[in-house]
Amino acid sequence: MATATTLREFRIPLAEIAQIPAAENATVRYLECHGDLAHLGLEYAGVSPLGKGGTEAAAAAAEPAPVGSPWCATLLSPALSLARLQQLLAFFAGRKWPVTAVDTLARRDDRTVLRFQLDAEPDFAPARHACLQLAEKLEADLVLQPGHSQRPPRLAGFDMDSTLIDAEVIDELAKITGIGDQVAAITEAAMRGELDFRQSFRKRMALLKGFSEQRLGEIATQLPIKGGAEQLLRALRALGCKTAVLSGGFTYFADYLQREKLPLDFIHANQLEFENGALTGGVIEPIVDGNRKRELLQQMAEELGLDPDRVIAVGDGANDIPMLNLGALGIAIHPKPKVRLEAPQAITHFGLDAALYLFGLNDRQIAALP
């Protein structure tokens, strides 16, 4: 029999939250702070962790407060206990990052998303690494970003394999031909940054010589879409943002995704070379590697008349790092370890649609998008 829980709101100074006695049975549902008192929504079983009953829980805010601080830290937690919130507040205090405002962007059963505005000027690289280390302890994502980047972008560049789709296409082709382990090992080395992408691409393509074009068409229809990809892309289109695939994979599959599955505006990927209805094993220049991805994204921004701070990139592999470091945000989604350490921002516990919180949107605003 499930234990009954109570959801109540407590209004106390933000600094005093860290002093509440530890309570394993208390879950944070929301936290709002725009003045002297924080509004803390706690769900708990049994006795109140604050020793008092609190008030009725408030409805979710229609929209977050405007961002006026130089930096924001967004916590995306699958299950946020009061103890973990206290750890986070102690982390900010220990690094002397004053919290000027807190907004709740999501308060669902499967996630609590809190955005903290910070009146600080941290050295970004070490600050980001400290946030990653704390995130592991909290079993959550903690994303540090400039305050001005908390707005929808105007151009978003996406890797395809393992980013928009939940597969590495070239590995899937290799499995069918019976050389899956051999090709997958090359792919993994390249994605970890241990092998030059251009070199690895040529090696893998040579091994796929003779693969039929007809079979490629069958595979395209079976590619699994990454969780949250469609939601994110449709939201970006509704927000007036152009989207582009910038992939070391193939135009053959990216074109199919654009035509049949996902609302994408531009495609830049590698072209397959055929002869007599089968792959030749050769490559067509220019190969879309990491540097090429960055060049293409920058070129598109210039053609659209956009400053870099209105551009974002999303990817997962080492060959995405150059474009992840180009614009306002570089979001690594379920990244390889090397990429998680080097990407400006990272999301590991949620799908692609969680990126919408980094644009300053809450669940009510997201749900209202056409």
Query: Cis omega (within 30 of 0) on the bond before 286?
Result: yes
Helix (H, G, I), strand (E, B) or coil at 78: coil
Q: Which two tokens stand for residue 282?
A: 């050769």
Of 159, 171, 316, 353, which is the active-site residue? 159
Catalytic: 119?
Answer: no
Of 161, 289, 316, 353, which is the active-site residue? 161
DSSP-assigned letter for residue 239: T
Burial class (CB in 10 A: 0-12, 13-18, 19+), 112: buried
DSSP-assigned letter for residue 284: -
Q: What is the DSSP string of 214-228?
A: HHHHHHHTTPPBPTT
In 3D, which of 281, 352, 293 has the Cα closest to residue 318?
Answer: 293
In 3D, which of 45, 56, 52, 43 has the Cα closest to residue 82?
Answer: 43
Q: What is the DSSP string of 97-130?
A: --EEEEEEEEEETTEEEEEEEE-----HHHHHHH
Catalytic: 141?
Answer: no
H or E stretch covering 39: strand 38-44
Residue 292 — φ and ψ, nearest 5°?
-65, -40
CA-based Rg of the chain, rounded to a whole angstrom? 23
What amino acid positions are annotated as catalytic residues?
A: 159, 161
